[in-house]
Amino acid sequence: MLPYTTIPGVTVAKLQTFIKKMPKAELHVHLEGSVLPATLLKLARRHQIALPADTVEGLREWYTFRDFDHFIEIYMVISSCLRTAEDIELITREFLQEQARQNILYTEATFTPYNQYMNCQLDFQPQMEAVNRARRWGYQELGVQMNVIMDIPRIIPPDQGDRVAGWALEWFGGGLAALGLGGPEVDNPPEKYRRAFNRVRQAGIPCVLHAGETVGPSSIWSALKVAESRRIGHGVRAVEDPALVEHLRAAQTPLEVCPTSNLCLGVYPSMEAHSLPVLMESGLFITLNSDDPPMFNTTLTEEYLRCQRAFGWEQEVIQGLVMNAVEAALLPEEEKAGLRKKFLKQFAAL
Ligand SMILES: [Zn+2]
């Protein structure tokens, strides 16, 4: 942790303004899960695909989270509308515009090209080239930087996981920062893709797995043992195993906590019941993230605002969490030093 200066007497209103303006970094957000209703409508019209609603308002209502099955339904409809490289470039550009609007200067976005490969016979290469065109544009025009974590969707057979690992080997360093694992955690442990993770790890590619969200501590232990997961996507249920909490604390393995997502998916009934304050008091390395923002009716800015209200966070805590995300970024040390400097400069000017 870096030293911070507390400003005494900062009111909640001032803190909220601070949160909106401050530089941010986000490490757990899904590219496909960030498609806005208006964009989905545009894509569906482009490909003449019927949607459950044909106006932005109607779609926004349909987007409102109901339960896990409904969440997967939205996800699959979005994926079925991503039929060409141009579609991928469009959603990536719009994603970066939204990140820029929130002053999110650095993002590691999870991307699941396998879905488009399976649903729309869209090869991986043109998908990644499209993402890279948008990335370059975002950096030059908006001043926001993004790298990709490509994930294996947990429902696919192990040999298809090997296929995704092959793509990771091909594109590592060309916009790709890590291999991930996402999708339904129950009955799909990391062990299922042990071979894929071994292959990429041997090539020096970092792995970042979702774990400890709908399955408890065993899933996190597996992510650490099978893939040496550099960070844990969610990881909030680590709190159920004191030995795991101690392990994560000692190793300072970053957790990518997404509170609103956890509430929507029923991991915790309320913000007050969330494990986040306990995890922080236990000395774990925490970052704050939005996961699938429009589906959970949130943004990264909103996550900070909600947590500030629920947990009474002061400015130094908020700034500390932002800087944690910078420190946990999968960047070469030289690049990270540049990013750190940029963030501290913006914080100093606030
Ligand atoms: Zn996620």
CA–centroid distance, 28 to ligand 1, in Å, is 6
CA–centroid distance, 263 to ligand 1, in Å, is 13
pLDDT (average), residues 204-228: 96
> Which one, of 108, 44, 25, lies nearest residue 342 by Cα?
25
Residue 293 has pLDDT above 70, yes or no: yes
CA–centroid distance, 104 to ligand 1, in Å, is 18
CA–centroid distance, 11 to ligand 1, in Å, is 33
Query: If you search the block for the tokens 């130094």, which residue do you land on?
Result: 316
pLDDT of residue 1: 39
**Residue 345: band (very low, low, confident or very high) from pLDDT cuts 50, 70, 90:** very high
CA–centroid distance, 209 to ligand 1, in Å, is 9
Ligand 1 ion local residues (Cβ < 5 A): 291
Residue 6 has pLDDT above 60, yes or no: no
d(CA 111, CA 134): 14
pLDDT of residue 181: 97
d(CA 313, CA 277): 10
Give residue 183's region: left, alpha or beta (phi > 0; psi -120 to 50). Answer: left
**Residue 250: band (very low, low, confident or very high) from pLDDT cuts 50, 70, 90:** very high
Name the DSSP class of 244.
Answer: H
Query: What percent of the chain is modeled with pLDDT above 70?
Result: 97
pLDDT of residue 191: 97
pLDDT of residue 10: 57
pTM here is 0.95
d(CA 233, CA 220): 9
Mean pLDDT of the chain: 94
Q: Which is more confidently placed, 345 or 6? A: 345
CA–centroid distance, 346 to ligand 1, in Å, is 28
Tens digit of pLDDT for each residue in 46-104? Answer: 999 999 999 999 998 998 888 878 888 898 899 999 999 999 999 999 999 999 999 99
CA torsion 110-113-114-116 (nearest 10°) is 130
Whether 220 and 212 have beta carbons less than 8 Å apart is answered as: yes
* Domain 12-349 architecture: Alpha-Beta Barrel (3.20)
Name the DSSP class of 230.
Answer: S
Query: What percent of the chain is modeled with pLDDT above 90?
Result: 87
pLDDT (average), residues 144-168: 97
CA–centroid distance, 80 to ligand 1, in Å, is 19
The least confident of 6-10, 166-170, 193-197, 326-330 is: 6-10
pLDDT of residue 76: 87
**Residue 276: band (very low, low, confident or very high) from pLDDT cuts 50, 70, 90:** very high
**Residue 4: band (very low, low, confident or very high) from pLDDT cuts 50, 70, 90:** very low
d(CA 243, CA 76): 38
The catalytically annotated residue of 185, 213, 256, 303 is 213
CA–centroid distance, 254 to ligand 1, in Å, is 15
pLDDT (average), residues 217-228: 97
Asked if 314 is an active-site residue, the reply is no
> Which one, of 272, 241, 240, 245, lies nearest residue 259 by Cα?
272
Domains of the chain, by residue range, sit at 12-349
Q: Which helix (H) or strand (E) holds 125?
A: helix 124-137
Whether 307 and 299 have beta carbons less than 8 Å apart is answered as: no
| Number of Cβ atoms within 10 Å of the Cβ of 243 | 10
CA–centroid distance, 348 to ligand 1, in Å, is 31
Whether 141 and 111 have beta carbons less than 8 Å apart is answered as: no
- b/e code 189-211 from CB counts within 10 Å (16+ = b): bbebbbebbebbbeeebbbbbbb
Residue 9 has pLDDT above 70, yes or no: no
**Residue 2: band (very low, low, confident or very high) from pLDDT cuts 50, 70, 90:** very low
Annotate 10-32 with DSSP letters as a single string: --HHHHHHHHHHS-EEEEEEESG
pLDDT (average), residues 247-271: 96
One-letter amino acid identity for 302?
Answer: E
